[in-house]
Structure 1
Amino acid sequence: MTVSQWRTFPYEATDYDYSHEELAEHWSVLHAGDREPFPAPDWIKVLFKDIPRVAEEAGCDAQAATQQLLTGWGHFHRGDFAAAADIGESLGLVGATLWAKAQATYAHYLETDKSVQRNLLMEVSDRMEAMAKAMPGTPNAYYHRAFALGRYSQVISVAEAWKQGVAGHVKNSLEAVLDREPDHADAHTALGTYHAEIIDKMGAMFGGVTYGANRDEGVAHYQRGIELAPHSISALTEYADGLLMMYGKKKVSQATELYERAVSLDPYDALSHLDWVLAKEELS
């Protein structure tokens, strides 16, 4: 399936149309969760100097790569995930995290064919594994691999996930993120979900012995994710989902409060709008 066949963002996106200058102004909010570095010529020049392969794959100088990346992120934030993925892929390693986030976001939120969804997510996982080897100091190479594998595990059977060792790969990748960037909010939230899903599928005792899953650790990661990205709708909804997976009916009231907090926030881009819709659906 080519990106030209991807479904379009199904909501109004005019509020999320950021110019390059507006991206710079709002970057800290837009990327509070993943802490993606802002595309700047100086940062890209360092990459080009330290890793010649990055410059070769980009096929342009640092200034041009910066402008293309900003255009690509503009596409991503207004929900044109196909255009964002195209630009990211065209820039090679320097655009790889843009490509990965665009493709994984599309696959998880908008693709309806489960077979296509699995293929898209596994492609992200494989490419991010390769990126982590080529650029081991890049936290989001590990994060996007973990995200893709985690979402992949949600569309296959528990037995398949067990056989493929998905849980271990997710945990190792997320720990690699936090080793490099301890304040990566999305990684904390994803680790919370790791604990929650293991407990939900395998039980607290077996999940704890086999995978180190622990309710208290899950809650701590969720809460840290919210502290680091207080405007993140997904951090709140993932926490709510996780409480229900780990504690069931005992935490319905707290989960409901989290969903209500989530829908009270104003989405700031297409991705947060998709998260807002999911939170709204949970409440209804």
Structure 2
Amino acid sequence: MAKWTAFPYDSAAYRHDAAALKKHWARLHAGDVEPWPRDEAVQAAWALFHAGEFQKAFDAGLKAGGDGITVANKAQAIHANYLEKSEKARLAMFQQVAERAEAQQAARPQNPNAWYWYAYATGRYSQGISVTKALAQGLGGKVKAALETTIKLAPKHADAHIALGAFHAEVIDKVGKLLGKTQGADAATGLRMYKEALRLNPTSAIAMVEYANGLVMLEGDKRMKEAEKLYADAAACKPMDAMERLDVEMAKAELED
């Protein structure tokens, strides 16, 4: 496998031994409500993920198997989304995550993150090939159904609420409210999902960024001031791990645009 792009920031503050990882677990996983793993190999894979060692976390997660597949999926998806420079490689990575997550759903249908990482990867893949093209291929319905399943299995899954909000906003933004309805997209539902995500995980920079994006997509310039405030709040968040650092840096970039 080609060497992945390294995490570009100092990660010293994000490195944890097993005891520290367990202590911070609830905060680190407020977004995806992943339970604390009993398997020490999976714990070690998660420690690598939080420290920004995404390729090592991916390899360790695959090797551990079981709950480690979730670490591998998250590491590959986050790397692809934030750090992979080749569009072709990004899309291939998202497809790989989706395939593994589908296999995980078949093996463990009650695992919410098997459904979530399928939805995340398929959603990002859809953005890459164009939302309109993805809708024509029926991917929109699959993403929506997988996110709804995630929330049914884990009602406090803040990240799934964010992604479902983004589904409604992006579909309406690309095809309009009328055509969006045929895809199950609804503006009020989208806004409600973003708000619920922030209620569940109020310190989430990515929830703030995505909500800001959604406000502008769904309601235009009249919500721009509110969106800018959300970007500013996100940029001021204190990241607890490498992924959150990437979210905060993205918020800073949005403010500069």
Judge same fold: TM > 0.5, yes or no: yes
Pair 1:165 & 2:157 matched: no
Aligned partner of 2:53: which letter? D
1:243 matched to 2:241? The reply is no
Q: How far does residue 72 in structure 1 lie from its aligned partner after superposition?
A: 0.7
- d(CA) in 1 for partners of 2:36 and 2:174? 38
RMSD value, Cα: 1.0
Deviation track 1:81-128 (CA, whole Å, cap 9, x = no partner) reads 000000110122331101100010111110010111000000100110
Distance in 1 of aligned mates of 2:55 and 2:243? 14
User: In the alignment, which residue of structure 2 is the partner of 1:279?
Assistant: 251
Helix, strand or coil for the counterpart of 2:78? helix
Aligned residues: 256
TM-score normalised per structure 1: 0.88
* In 2: Cα distance, 1:157 partner to 1:235 partner: 23
Select the residue among 40, 46, 58 that pairs with 1:67. Answer: 40
Give yes or no for the alignment of 1:32 onto 2:5.
no
- Match in the other structure for 2:231: 259
Aligned amino acid, residue 212 of structure 1: G
When residues 186 and 283 of structure 1 are mapped into structure 2, their CA distance, relative to the original with a 3 A threshold, is same
Alignment-derived partner of residue 77 in structure 2: 104
CA offsets per residue over residues 126-147 of structure 1, 9 Å max, x none?
Answer: 1101110110010000000000
Shift of residue 200 of structure 1?
A: 0.5
What is the alpha-carbon distance in structure 2 between the residues aligned to residue 270 and residue 74 of structure 1?
A: 11
Name the residue aligned to 1:186: 159
Whether 2:88 is the aligned partner of 1:115: answer yes
The residue number in structure 2 matching 1:85 is: 58
1:136 aligns with 109
Q: Report the TM-score, using the length of structure 2 for normalisation.
A: 0.97
Larger Rg: 1
Of 6, 9, 23, 1:8 maps to 6
Percent of paired sites with the same residue: 43
* Residue pair 2:94, 2:125 contacting (<8 A) in 1 also: yes
CA-CA distance at 1:157 after TM superposition: 2.5
| Structure 2 residues not aligned, in runs of 5+ | none
Aligned to 1:5, what secondary structure does the other structure show? coil
1:214, 1:179 → 2: CA distance? 19
In structure 1, C-alpha distance between the alignment counterparts of 2:137 and 2:97, rounded to whole Å: 16
Higher mean C-alpha displacement, 199-208 vs 153-162: 153-162
Shift of 1:250: 1.3
CA distance in 2, matches of 1:141, 1:9: 25
What residue identity is the alignment partner of 1:10? P
Determine the C-alpha separation between the residues in 1 that align with 2:22 and 2:197: 23
CA deviation after TM superposition for structure 1 residue 159, in Å: 4.3
In the alignment, the residues of structure 2 paired with residue 158 and residue 231 of structure 1 have an alpha-carbon distance, to the nearest angstrom, of 29
Unpaired runs of 5+ in structure 1?
41-65
Cα distance in structure 1, aligned partners of 2:177 and 2:232: 28
Which stretches of structure 1, 4 residues or longer, exceed 4 Å deviation after superposition?
Answer: none
Take 1:237 and 1:157, find their aligned partners in 2: how far apart are those partners? 21
Q: Aligned letter for 1:138?
A: N
1:246-270 per-residue CA deviation (whole Å, 9 max, x = no partner) reads 1121110110111111112101100
Q: Which amino acid aligns with 2:191?
A: V
1:158 Cα deviation (Å)? 3.5
Partner residue of 1:223 out of 174, 195, 210: 195
Q: Deviations over 1:66-92 (max 9, x none)?
A: 211111111100100000000110122
